[in-house]
A and B are shown apart, each in its own frame.
Chain A
Amino acid sequence: MTPVSAATIDGLRRIEGRDKVTGAARYAYEQQIEGVATAVAVTSTIAKGRIHGFDAGETLAHPRVLEVLTYENAPRVAEDADSEPELAVLQTSAVAYHGQVVALVIAETLEAAREGARLLAVEYREQTPDVELSDSHPGLYKPDKVNAGFPTDEGTGDPDRALEKADLVVDAVYSTPNDHNQPMEPHATVATWSDDGHLTLYDSTQGAPMAANSVSKILGVDSGRVRIISHHVGGGFGSKGTPRPNVILAALAAQALGRPVKLALTRQQLFTMVGYRTPTIQRVRLGANADGTLTALVHEAFEQSSTIKEFAEQTTTCSRVMYASPNRRTAHRLVRLDVPTPSWKRAPGEAPGMFALESAIDELAVAAGMDPIALRIANEPDVEPETGRRFSSRNLVACLREGARQFGWDERDPTPGVRREGRFLVGSGVAASTYPARRQPSSATARANDDGTYLVRIGAADIGTGARTALTRIAATALDVDPSRVVVEIGDSALPFAMLAGGSMGTASWGSAVVKACRALVEQGGGEVEVDTKEEVAADADLAKHGFGAQFAQVRVDIDSGETRVDRMLGVFAVGKVIEPRLARSQLIGGMVMGLGMALMEEAILDPRTGATVNHDFAGYHVPVNADVTDVEATWIEEEDAELNPMGSKGIGEIGITGAPAAIANAVFHATGRRVRDLPIRLDRLL
Chain B
Amino acid sequence: MKPFRFERPENAEGAVATLTASGAEHARYLGGGTNLVDLMRLGVETPDLLVDVARLGHDAVRETDGGGLRVGAAVRNSDLARDPLLRTRYPMVSQALLSGASPQLRNLATIGGNLLQRTRCAYFTDTSLDCNKRDPGSGCGALDGEHRNHAILGHSAACIATHPSDLAVALTAVGAEVLVEGAAGERHIPMPGLHRLPGDAPERDTVLDPGDLIVAIQLPPLEAARRSSYRKVRDRASFSFAVVSVAAALQCDEDGTIRDVRIALGGVAHAPWRAERAEEELRGGPATAERFAAAAAAELDQARPLEQNAFKVPLARNLIVTVLADLAGVAA
State the A residues within 8 Å of B (CB): 45, 98, 111, 114-115, 118, 423, 558, 560-563, 565, 600-601, 605, 607-610, 612, 614-617, 619-620, 622, 624-628, 682-684, 687
Contact = CB atoms under 8 A, between A and B. Distances in A.
A562 B312 CA distance: 11
Interface in B227-268: 233-241, 243-244
B145 A607 contact: yes
Contacts of A423: 322
B126 interface: yes
* Most central of A98, A115, A619 by chain B CB within 10 Å: A619
Contacts of A622: 235-236, 240
A562 B141 CA distance: 28
A2 B141 CA distance: 58
B122 interface: yes
A186 B237 CA distance: 25
B33 to A, nearest CB: 15
A627 B236 CA distance: 8
Interface stretch (B173-181, B210-218, B282-290, B313-321): B313-321
User: By CB atoms of chain A within 10 A, which of B126, B129, B319 has the most?
Assistant: B126
Contacts of A619: 120, 241
Given A607-B146, A622-B240, A684-B148, A560 B318 contact: yes
A687 B145 contact: no
B123 A683 contact: no
Contact of B238 (A560, A614, A616, A626): A626
B23 interface: no
A561 B235 contact: no
Interface residues of B, number: 36
Contact of B129 (A607, A615, A626, A687): A607
Contacts of B3: 111, 115
A617 B238 CA distance: 16
B36 to A, nearest CB: 15
Nearest to B123: A614
Interface of B: 1-3, 41, 43, 120, 122-123, 125-126, 128-129, 141, 144-146, 148, 233-241, 243-244, 311, 314-315, 318-319, 321-322, 332
Contact of A687 (B234, B238, B311): B311
B314 A608 contact: no
14 contacts: A98-B128, A114-B1, A558-B233, A560-B318, A561-B315, A563-B234, A601-B236, A610-B129, A610-B145, A620-B120, A627-B238, A682-B235, A684-B315, A687-B315
Contacts of B141: 607, 610
Contacts of B1: 111, 114-115, 118
B145 A683 contact: no
Nearest to A64: B3
Contacts of A617: 125
A626 B240 CA distance: 12
A66 B240 CA distance: 39
Contacts of A563: 233-234
Given A608-B145, A610-B141, 20 more contacts: A45-B128, A98-B128, A118-B1, A561-B318, A562-B315, A607-B146, A609-B144, A610-B129, A610-B145, A612-B126, A614-B126, A614-B145, A615-B122, A615-B146, A616-B126, A622-B235, A627-B238, A628-B236, A683-B235, A684-B148
List 3 A-B pairs, minimum CB-CB distance, nearest first.
A45-B128, A627-B238, A627-B237
A560 B322 contact: yes
A5 to B, nearest CB: 27
Contacts of B236: 600-601, 622, 624-625, 627-628
